Amino acid sequence: MIITSLTNPYIKELNELKKNNIKKEKNMFLVDGLDFILLAKQNNLLKEILTLSYLEEYQDVKQIIVTKPILDKLSINKTSSNVIGVCYYPQNKEIKGDKLLYLDGVQDPGNVGTLIRTALAFSYSGVILSKDTASIYNDKVISSTKGAIFSLPLYNDIDLISLKEKGYEIVSTSLKNAIDYKKYHFKNKFVLVLGNEGQGVKEENLLISDYIVKINMDNIDSLNVGVAGGILMNEYR
């Protein structure tokens, strides 16, 4: 198939996937570049490719030949690559695994994407996003994961109490009433809770936590949540 017109109905339909509510409704999103496309294909989440020229290595995937202006229109980046993938969101319903990351109101999309990627790097079983955490339908979240969104289970708005009832230890971060993070020795099943960039972990979540940990620092009061999360996940791996 070849499409050359910016006003083609299907191109207009794909362009709607830039809207978070449409991504959620269609359970699809767009990615730029072969790195993302390869990861999507490896995880059976690649629907089709829009490209300037036919890609032999993806002959088993539907390919639509388009023009550069069409790629520029659909790109989620300032400058498009020569290929865009249409991908499905992974469907993860049941919590599995022993090491989970819980993002409690983390609002910066770049931080959310970075933490998802870091969780994959340190072999966490999945990431849970609270209602007030930046959405996985946000383009910057998707981009910042660098493809980890395809490989790591993501869950929306799962109650910490329900996880505690399933035998998970709840380990939250705070600057107050906390022990040094190196003094916590994790058991088989735990949830690491990271809070909002300004307010931290919600009080109600601190109250049900089994442990509250902090990173002792010199010269500064706090770290960016993405940096802090990396330090903690490296320790609890």
DSSP 4-54: --TT-HHHHHHHGGGSHHHHHHHTEEEEESHHHHHHHHHTT-EEEEEESS-
Nearest-angstrom CA–CA distance, 232 and 197: 16
Instruction: Provide the whole-model pTM.
Output: 0.90
Helix (H/G/I), strand (E/B), else coil: 199: coil
Contacts with 34 (C-beta within 8 Å, 6 or more apart), sequence order: 81, 83
What would the 3-class secondary structure string for 95-156 be?
A: CCCCEEEEEECCCCHHHHHHHHHHHHHCCCCEEEECCCCCCCCCHHHHHHCCCHHHCCCEEE
Domains of the chain: 9-88 (3.30.1330.30), 99-235 (3.40.1280.10)
Nearest-angstrom CA–CA distance, 29 and 47: 10
* Percentage of the chain exceeding pLDDT 70: 100
Q: For residue 96, with 0-12 CB atoms within 10 Å meaning exposed, 13-18 middle and 19 or more buried, which class applies? A: exposed
DSSP H or E run through 217: none
- What's the DSSP call for residue 90? P
User: Residue 142: which of 15, 14, 32 has the closest Cα?
Assistant: 32
Tokens of 14: 């794909």
Q: Please give the radius of gyration of the chain, using alpha carbons only, rounded to the nearest integer.
A: 20
Per-residue pLDDT of the chain (237 residues; tens, 9 = 90+): 899 999 999 999 999 999 999 999 999 999 998 999 999 999 999 999 999 999 999 999 999 999 999 999 999 887 778 899 999 998 887 898 999 999 999 999 999 999 999 999 999 999 999 999 999 999 999 999 999 999 999 998 899 999 999 999 999 999 889 999 999 988 789 999 999 998 999 999 999 999 999 999 888 888 899 999 999 999 998
Contacts with 139 (C-beta within 8 Å, 6 or more apart), sequence order: 18, 29, 76, 109
Q: What's the pLDDT tens digit per position in 31-83?
A: 998 999 999 999 999 999 999 999 999 999 999 999 999 999 999 887 778 89
Q: Which residue has the tokens 């399933």?
A: 166
